Structure 1
Amino acid sequence: MSPSTLHIDNQSAISVSKNPEHHDCSYFVPTAEMPADLLTKALAKPKVEVFRKMMGLIRAGGS
């Protein structure tokens, strides 16, 4: 199994970005393109639908 890419939007990510030793391992992802927000924030239904599709999740019943 290969490593997973993590998309992080928080203060820890900012701290990591200030340490040049870690620059090859990380990069910035705008909030509008952060599907992990679906699991960590209260979002409006349109954004939930966009991120749900980005993550490949389907509704119960298969629709």
Structure 2
Amino acid sequence: MLAVVFPTPYVNRSLRIASRSAITLLTLSAPGRTIYGTIAGLAASSYAEFPYTSDDNAWFRMG
């Protein structure tokens, strides 16, 4: 299990999660903000990137 708490956001900030091995249980949280496109796991040799958008006060998944 891996738990990731998103950092304090600011304009143009992005969070990237990457792994060489598969992650089968992943928990994401961003206190006071919304995460769109949250994931519960990550395939081996892959990544997910979440840029922050201040207009929506939210993180959106890319990748």
Which TM-score applies when normalising by structure 1?
0.20
Considering fraction of residues, name the structure with more helix: 1
Which protein is bigger by CA-based radius of gyration?
Answer: 1
Which TM-score applies when normalising by structure 2?
0.20
